[in-house]
Chain A
């Protein structure tokens, strides 16, 4: 079956508007009357990296809604196969590999050390240092709930750390 106006058929070079793009965006709107075989919608101009690669088994562009067994969103007229028109606005964030159990455990340990350093007052100096180190490491890697605990651990450890020097200074005054 050759192509029709709804984009069913073989992949061909789409007909694009010859008008100059006044907004300088990377998309070209393709109307049904333009006679392309890849459906109606926006086409991406240029090479944009897709953060969501197409599913395995998706073939060449076939239909606007996709063929059975293929990913309809990966091969539509909204972009070239394997591209995402929104990719230029989407910057994938780098997620640390250590943001799960390790960071949460360190945040908990840091906060426990911080509270104990506050409670043990004069001897808290020895607990405040590991508490501060653990909390800072946890803060760098933690997400969500672990972040608050890491901040609380840093504050408690810092208070426990400065308590002894402050008391010694006050004692000598």
Chain B
């Protein structure tokens, strides 16, 4: 019974890994041209301000995301983290997962790959919420603004 449950869990994990790997490859097709264009033409200094911030003066959960991506593509990791930590977190998880899965598949399982875990998503959600709260608290209580 335990063995059957373990086998079922392995099948579910394997199917999730496969699905995530295919989604990652599909995202790569979109992200590479976008990243090249971002790195060549955009500067995080003159990106337009978020509409929610402009209208209400409040940081929304996604405020700073574009600037963080532009900074990361130019190699400014610390600045990218300050703009929006979700971008750096996603880049780390994506690189680790896709890289290890690709190597493992090429070597037919001789190298252990990184698996998809549920806490990846919960951590991303936590980062989004904490970032939004911390930025607004810093702005309204200490007058520290990020852009």
B40 at the interface (CB under 8 A from A): no
A152–B125 alpha-carbon span in the complex (Å): 9
Q: A157-173, CB under 8 A of B: which get 1 and which 0?
A: 00000010001001100
A145 to B56, CA, bound (A): 38
> Is A112 positioned at the interface, with any CB of B under 8 Å from its CB?
yes
A171, B55: Cβ atoms under 8 Å? Answer: yes
A155 (CB) vs chain B CBs: closest residue: B125
Chain A proximity of B94: nearest CB distance (Å) = 12
A154 within 8 Å of B (CB atoms): no
A100, B14: Cα distance in complex, Å: 12
Instruction: Collect the chain B residues with CB atoms within 8 Å of residue A101's CB.
Output: 11-12, 15-16
* B86 on interface, CB distance cutoff 8 Å: yes
A120 to B50, CA, bound (A): 10
Given contact pairs A122-B52, A170-B56, A108 touches B11 in the complex (Cβ within 8 A): no
User: B11: which A residues are within 8 A, CB to CB?
Assistant: 100-101
Residues of A within 8 A of B60 (CB): 121, 163
Given contacts A111-B121, A149-B118, A152-B125, contact A120 B62 (CB under 8 A): yes
A122 surroundings in chain B (CB, below 8 A): 51-52
The smallest beta-carbon distance between A36 and chain B, in angstroms, is 34
Total A-B Cβ pairs within 8 A: 61
The answer on a CB contact under 8 Å between A152 and B122 is yes
Tell me the A106-139 residues at the B interface (CB within 8 Å).
108, 111-112, 115, 118-122, 124
Whose C-beta in chain B lies nearest to the C-beta of A124?
B62
Count of chain B residues near A, Cβ 8 A: 25
B35 on interface, CB distance cutoff 8 Å: no
Q: In whole angstroms, what is the CA distance A124 to B52 when docked?
A: 13
**B13 CB, nearest partner CB in chain A, Å:** 9
State whether the Cβ of B76 lies closer than 8 Å to any Cβ in chain A: no
Q: Is the CB of B121 within 8 A of A119?
A: no
- B70 to chain A minimum Cβ distance, whole angstroms, is 16
* A156 proximal to B (CB < 8 A): yes
In the assembled complex, 28 residue pairs joining A and B whose CB atoms fall closer than 8 Å, in A order, are A100-B8, A104-B15, A105-B15, A105-B19, A108-B16, A108-B19, A108-B20, A111-B125, A112-B121, A115-B124, A115-B128, A118-B62, A119-B65, A120-B62, A121-B50, A121-B51, A121-B52, A121-B61, A121-B62, A122-B51, A124-B62, A149-B118, A149-B121, A156-B125, A167-B51, A167-B52, A167-B55, A171-B55
> Given known contacts A105-B16, A145-B118, A167-B56, what 12 new A-B pairs fall within 8 Å (CB)?
A101-B15, A104-B15, A108-B16, A111-B121, A115-B124, A121-B62, A121-B63, A122-B51, A124-B62, A152-B121, A152-B125, A170-B56
Interface pairs A-B: 6 shortest CB-CB: A119-B62, A101-B15, A121-B60, A118-B61, A121-B62, A111-B121
